[in-house]
Amino acid sequence: MLFISFLKFMSLIKKSLNSLLIRPDGHNPAVDGIRALAIILVVIGHVYTIQVALTEVPKPSWLRHDYGVDMFFVISGFLIGTILIKEFQKTNKINYAKFYVRRFLRLMPVYVVILIAGIYFMQNWYNQLPDQGLPLLGDNTLIGEGTNAKNMWANLFYVNNFLDADEQYLLWCWSLAIEEQFYIIAPFFLSFILLKTRKRISIFIALLILSCIIRFVTVYQHNIFPENYWNALSTGPNGKNYLNYTFTHLYDNLLTRYGGLLVGVIGAYLVQFHLNKIRVFMAKKLASIILIFSVVIFFGAFVDLEFRYFGRFAEFSQLTLNDWEKVYWAATIGFSRNLFSLATMFIILYSIYNKTSIGRGINKFLSLRWFYPVAQISYSAYLTHWMLMFWMYPSTVPFLSEYFESIHVVHAINGILGVIATLLASIILYIFSTSSLFIINASINLYKILLSLLFFLILNISLRKLYKSFLLCS
């Protein structure tokens, strides 16, 4: 019996590894490539962001890793939109319950593991550096205050972005909250669009413009102009610094960030309903011209091209704008992310449906074989990387500084260590999550279900005791 169970376990591991390494039919290589690039960008950006808090050496000015999240939003909107629209085309309806259950089973197992693990890994930052917590991460005292673990409930319900930035537990999970909130709305929205109206494109465009307007108005409403933009030394109306204030009102808000997700849905709609028109358009010269603009916008975003008029970010706090410059600033904030999202979506579509050497070249690059496994573990990597780096870097930065004079060498070695740790943890979590899905999708008898429930009950009791011991130790 034990031997049979072991064989079944190994079979699950093998299936998980196969799903990690072998791209199945129907998977879009270009989408995998963009997703892989997004997580690489985010992880490398946070390698520097976290070390900046320890060494006060700024990260490279060209590394705008925050746009990696916009790339994720576009991909999520495109994939979820494709799933829902395809279902509607087959059945003339969308099964809401099935959609939500599948989302829950795919996302929640790994997320719960990370939420529990974060109690330990994040506390290490505050234990070792009681006076050097990042401005966005709350008080540097006890568990539940320094790590904000008391607000874990908000993460479980995907409403953590409703809290102020310094009150959130595992701050980087704000993007998951936005995606889940969008997932709740998307099936109903698409049902209405597909069933009740023929002016679908007009509605999509109107909502995208509205997204830009909301961001524009938010800048004025909350006075997020250069002197306050991400400024930890400037105090906002709520008494908290503008680093916190900008994050809370502009950065992690569904109303100010749904544009990228909507762009992905629009891309899915065009592919499912107007595929022939897309193929014809992509063969025209105009498509190549738009591609040039898209590439400039895409790469320009990473070097702050949209802010060049205002100078360097480090000098923003010293700027005083006239009325017209304020309009230009607010418009830049309002339109830049959506333009980047549109550029990303167009590059994906061009790489798939343009059959010239340029289109094939882009597709060949995005289809690199090693991009696929990176894309597969991107969710786990996003959840684990910041937490692991917070756990490692307070120890590794001073240790490496004793052997290397150049802080840039220290940053680079730390980055490699952080990436390796993230990679290993992500693979383990990926195997865990896919194995769970295989078990759930298989035919499971009542006896096995009861054993599973007993296991999770024991695990829950153990984790409660572990959590209490951490409280006592702190």
Walk along the chain (474 residues) and give the pLDDT tens digit of each residue: 555 555 555 666 667 677 777 777 777 889 999 999 999 999 998 888 888 767 666 666 667 888 999 999 999 999 999 999 999 999 988 888 888 888 888 888 889 999 998 888 877 666 655 444 444 444 433 333 457 888 899 999 999 999 988 888 888 999 999 999 999 999 999 999 998 878 899 999 999 999 999 999 999 998 888 888 887 777 777 777 888 888 888 999 999 999 999 999 999 999 999 999 999 999 999 999 999 999 999 998 888 877 877 876 666 777 788 889 999 999 999 999 999 999 999 999 999 999 899 999 999 999 999 999 999 999 999 999 988 988 888 888 888 888 888 888 888 898 899 999 999 999 988 887 776 555 555 444 444 444 454 445 555 555 555 555 445 444
pTM confidence score: 0.86
CB atoms within 10 A of CB 464: 10
Burial of 225 (0-12, 13-18, 19+ CB in 10 A): buried
The two tokens of residue 230 are 């991400």
Identify whether the C-beta of residue 328 lies closer than 8 Å to the C-beta of residue 285: no
CA distances from 134 to 43, 138, 147, 244, 471 (A): 18, 8, 11, 11, 22
Q: Specify the 3-state DSSP secondary structure of 448.
A: helix
Q: Specify the 3-state DSSP secondary structure of 149.
A: helix
Give 391-400 contacts, CB < 8 A, sequence gap 24+.
Answer: 391/120, 391/121, 391/122, 391/124, 391/125, 392/417, 392/418, 392/421, 393/50, 393/51, 393/54, 393/418, 394/54, 394/124, 394/125, 394/128, 394/129, 395/128, 397/51, 397/54, 397/55
Residue among 101, 75, 44, 263 nearest 175 (CA): 75
**Range 106-145 burial, b when 16+ CB lie within 10 A, else e:** ebebbbebbbbbbbebbbbbbeebeeebbebbbebeebbe
CA distance 444 to 293: 53
